[in-house]
Every structure is written in structure tokens, then in C-alpha cells.
Amino acid sequence: MILWLNPTTGVSGDMLLGALLGLGAPLDRVRAAIEATGLTGWSLSARQVQVDGIAATRAVVEVDDGAAERHASELLERASRAPEPIASTACSAIRAIAEVEGGLHDRDPEQVHLHEIGGLDTIVDTVGVAAAVHELGVAEVRSAPIALGSGTVRCAHGELPAPAPAALRLLEGAAVIGAELPGETVTPTGAALLRALGTRYSPPPAMTLGPTAHGAGGKRFEQRPNVLTASLGEPAAGGSPMLLLECNVDDVTAETLGHVLDLLLEAGAADAWTSPAAMKKSRPGHVLHVLCHPPDERALTEIALAETGSLGLRRQEVSRTALPRSISTVTVDGHPIRLKHGPHRTKPEHDDVAAAARALGRPLREIAERALRAAG
């Protein structure tokens, strides 16, 4: 199942949770996942509201403990008690917040003192969203660019420019767009959840559209209704329509080709690779292959031609069958490692394994095996 988001007024944890409950995530099972953390003195309800004429779902979170400040380690310990893969997703979001706050204040991530996002409602939001995504069978999350507000936002550190520094760091790699909306439109919890869910930013992918719901935000804007639009869809029958772009090169170094592949993948290519080829006059060369969605063709073509110096590029329409997948995160000696789960196997993310192996001074194979064992 694909989840596509359209955050025209930004995103927060409660807006995302409200949208998912509106899409049909069972409230009782979401509550059960939160209860598994051992958290007490909280409640979660879903209320149907009207936001400037649009029917929306508001996730109402109430906690008896009003303290808004805690160490990140306390929140991580609670979230880790939820069932898998819910716990991994929730902990990944909380850990991302802690790492950003730690970087901003030069503190150890797990010992950093979280202010506005240190309340128990953060546990409800992160575990609740992770549980709702799991219950809806979401294997892929896509999003339109996120609207960023302007002006200032008041927090424990005083009055800061909006978006706040923590939210901006958590949005690194996300597609954003400026909007004439006053104040904060993206909360750190909302940004961290999008990161933990492995969100990719693109137009709606090829899919058979299912239900659409709106998650209500607490603010009101004159410019537009403050709702997060969320849609579910099944991948298009017979595979997603794609384009395969190719060009031959015989005067480009391997280092340059590696750089080009990185640029293409960062720019939205579904996949990019090279294969060796014997060129004219038996010159050794390579074929650069780029698999992409049609809306990305122009940008990716420009990158391929500009970076390789090739004078032409071929294109052909192809179809792709994409099996459902999900992402969770485990920890090996304090180092987070993402895992890709498919119908037939689970595979650790190579970059995460390599970083952990380098930091721990252990063989790559050993860290990968430990990550798989941690996943159960």
C-alpha cells in the first residue's frame, strides 16, 4: 500500500496521526500499541471536525503529566517497549530528534534534554503514527513538497525564526516550498516521523487511488485550510509505468560515473547503474542506465548529459513490478541501522552497516549479521 501526503500547510505529529486515523487505521489497535509502552495517564481520541468547510479528523492527545521536558533516553526507553516493527519506527523518529538537538547543543543525543518535545504526548504521537502506518499496511510513503511558514516561533530558547532550527535539520533531504503562512508549520515531531518512515518526495506515483482523508491542525490560517491531506493507493496493476534512459560513454572515468550515479539517485531516479560495453573501434566504455518516473525525465536527462558530456540519450517505456516493502531501524552497540523488509528477505542498509562497522572497528559482515539478529 502507498501512502501519499500533500502537506500544503505543513505537518505535525498529531496532523499525521489524525490523517491516518481518518484513513481507517483502527483506533483500538493504535491505542493497544501505545499501551504496550507502559505509559499511563494518557488518552487518545479521534474527533470529526470541520476546518474551513473541509471534513477532517483531529487526533486529540491528553496526558496527565504536563511536564514538557525530559531526557531523550526516557522517551526512547518507553517507545522501545512497543511491538515490532512499530517500536523501531517510533524510536527512529525520537532518535532523529535527539541527534539533531544534541548537534545543536553539543550534547550526547540520548542525554540531551528535550524541551517542548519532551512530553509524554511525543510517545503517543510517534508510537501512534508508527502503529497506524503498520495497521494500514503501508509499504511506501510519498509526499508533495512541504509548505514552510515564515516569521518567528517562541520556544524554550526564546523567539526563533520559523521554521525552527531543529525542524530545518530534520527536513534535510526533504522537498520544501515557501508559503505565506505565519509561524511554525512543521514541528520537529512531524519532520522526524517523515524521516523515520523513509518518505520520498514526488508527485503521486502510479497507483489505483483508494481513500483520502484529512488530518486537522490546531492553528487557523486565513490563506488556506490547515489540514494534511493523505491518500492510500495500490500500486498500478501490471506494474508502474516507467522510463529507461540510456547513453553510451567511452571517455568518462569511473570516479565521474560514480558521482553521476549519486546525483541521479539524489534527484529522484528510481534506480541508476552502469554496465561495461565494447564501443566503436573496440574502445572500452560504459552504458549509463537510468530508471525513472515520467515527470522526472527532463531533470534526470539534463544531469546525465551535462555530467557525462554525452551528445545523446535514448529513452524507452518500460514497466516495473514493485513488491511491497517497509523500513525499520535497529541498534547495534548504539549505532542505528535501517532494515529493508520485503516479502522474501530482510536486508540491512549498507551505508548504515558500513558506518557502524567503521566506528566499532568490526568486520562489515559481523555488523550486518548482528543487525539481522536484532530484528528478530
Per-residue pLDDT reduced to its tens digit, 115-159: 445 467 889 999 999 999 999 988 789 999 999 988 766 665 567
Residue 105 has pLDDT above 60, yes or no: no
Q: Residue 372 — pLDDT band, cuts 50, 70, 90?
A: very high
Per-residue pLDDT reduced to its tens digit, 74-97: 888 888 899 888 888 898 898 888
pTM: 0.63
The domain spans of the chain are 2-235, 240-320, 326-374
Residue 160 has pLDDT above 80, yes or no: no
Per-residue pLDDT reduced to its tens digit, 165-186: 888 889 988 999 988 888 889 9
More confident residue, 361 or 234: 361
Q: Which three cell numbers stand for residue 225?
A: 485550510
Maximum Cα interatomic distance, the chain, rounded to a whole number of Å:
77
Q: Which three cell numbers stand for residue 282?
A: 573496440
Residue 351 has pLDDT above 60, yes or no: yes
Check if the beta carbon of residue 343 is closer than 8 Å to that of residue 336: no
pLDDT of amino acid 329: 86
Range in 152-161, 261-270, 273-282, 323-332 with the lowest mean pLDDT: 152-161
* Averaged pLDDT for residues 253-276: 93
Question: DSSP letters along 34-56, please?
Answer: HHTTT--SEEEEEEEEEETTEEE
pLDDT of amino acid 239: 55
CA 283 – CA 39 distance, rounded (Å): 67
Per-residue pLDDT reduced to its tens digit, 200-221: 898 888 888 999 999 999 889 8
Per-residue pLDDT reduced to its tens digit, 271-304: 999 999 998 888 899 999 999 887 788 889 999 9
pLDDT of amino acid 157: 55
Residue 255 has pLDDT above 60, yes or no: yes
In 3D, which of 317, 318, 304 has the Cα closest to residue 248? 304
DSSP run (H or E) holding 368: helix 364-374
Q: In CATH, what class is 240-320? A: alpha beta
**Neighbour order of strands in the sheet with 346-348:** 326-332, 335-341, 346-348
Q: Residue 348 — pLDDT band, cuts 50, 70, 90?
A: very high
Share of the chain above pLDDT 70, in %: 90
Share of the chain above pLDDT 90, in %: 51
Per-residue pLDDT reduced to its tens digit, 17-47: 999 999 999 999 999 999 999 988 889 999 9
